[in-house]
């Protein structure tokens, strides 16, 4: 636990320094690598039987760094990163309750309480902000949560469950890397190619975007849970993923979405 707290605290201070004096990308990434080493030394890494440690450790390190940066990159709108963390934490909490793991339930409940308290002031229009300090810390915490579960015990493909739960931040960072590469922009450089910015440009309000993201997160939790308990096969999961991507990209490119008008009437604004 000391190494876990060391890694999380290191991410917090790296982000704080970056908020106060802007760090160069390689300096920020070096700090993230140090935090990742702390997490790995603490035992937060993949322990799948079908991989050896020669693969488990690199895959785990890549996952941790990917999730840390995913939550850092998605934090471009009031309440978005916090809400995504809440939705993912609720999903993992539901899994822990179903699997009757009280220690994980206590840990996630404490984390969830802090996120809800923060969201109260971070929702549109925000009065406080995560900054890099908050987004890196949350990203680090979300990255190691899946390693608290032994997914392979429940189903041979159970290791895909965290990927489904965290699909939105994973999709965001993957799309950003692809778009920026196509635009010949370094993937670590800022650009207005975030899905939340696209939706706002197409007439969505910030509140509607948050509701939309929360609704999709509920669907992702249901799919991941059904997959974990073997009520949904791998083929059905792939089909669901294709439908999810279709809805995702259709919404981003929709100039005057009916969903937005419906949500506007529902919320009375």
3-state secondary structure the chain: CHHHHHHHHHHHHHHHHHHHCCCCHHHHHHHHHHHHHHHHHCCCCCCCCCCCHHHHHHHHHHHHHHHHHHHHHHCCCCCHHHHHHHHHHHHHHHHHHHCCCHHHHHHHHHHHHHHHHHHHHHCCCCCCCCHHHHHHHHHHHHHHHHHHCCHHHCCCCHHHHHHHHCHHHHHHHHHHHHHHHHCCCCCCCCCCCCHHHHHHHCCCCHHHHHHHHHHHHHHHHHHHHHHHCCCCCHHHHHHHHHHHHHHHHHHHHCCCCHHHHHHHHHHCC
Predicted local confidence at residue 216, as pLDDT: 93
- At residue 203, the pLDDT reads 83
Mean pLDDT by 10 residues, the chain (269 residues): 92 94 90 96 82 81 95 92 96 92 94 95 91 94 92 74 93 88 81 86 88 93 89 87 86 58 50
Number of domains the chain contains: 1
**Residues spanned by the domain of 28:** 2-267
pLDDT of residue 53: 67
pTM score, two decimals? Answer: 0.89
Per-residue pLDDT at 114? 95
């Amino acid at each position: 636990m000391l190494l876990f707290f060391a890694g999380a605290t290191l991410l917090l201070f790296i982000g704080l320094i970056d908020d106060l004096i802007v760090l160069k990308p390689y300096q920020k990434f070096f700090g993230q690598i140090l935090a990742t080493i702390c997490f790995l030394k603490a035992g937060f890494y993949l322990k799948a039987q079908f991989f050896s440690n020669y693969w488990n450790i690199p895959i785990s390190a890549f996952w941790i760094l990917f999730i840390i940066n995913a939550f850092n990159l998605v934090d471009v709108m009031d309440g978005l990163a916090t809400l995504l963390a809440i939705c993912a934490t609720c999903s993992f909490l539901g899994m822990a309750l179903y699997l009757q793991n009280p220690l994980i339930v206590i840990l996630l409940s404490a984390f969830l309480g802090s996120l809800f308290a923060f969201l109260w002031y971070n929702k549109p229009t925000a009065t406080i902000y995560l900054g890099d300090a908050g987004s890196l810390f949350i990203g680090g915490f979300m990255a190691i949560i899946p390693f608290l579960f032994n997914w392979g015990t429940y189903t041979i493909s159970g290791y895909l469950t965290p990927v489904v739960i965290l699909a939105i931040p994973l999709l965001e960072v993957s799309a950003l890397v692809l778009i920026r590469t196509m635009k010949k922009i370094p993937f670590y450089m800022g650009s207005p190619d975030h899905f939340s910015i696209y939706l706002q440009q197409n007439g969505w309000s910030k509140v509607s975007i948050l509701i939309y993201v929360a609704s999709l997160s509920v669907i992702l939790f249901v799919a991941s849970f059904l997959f974990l308990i073997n009520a949904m096969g791998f083929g059905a999961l792939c089909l669901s993923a294709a439908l999810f991507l279709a809805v995702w990209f259709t919404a981003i490119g929709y100039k005057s979405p009916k969903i937005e008008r419906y949500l506007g009437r529902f919320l009375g604004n």
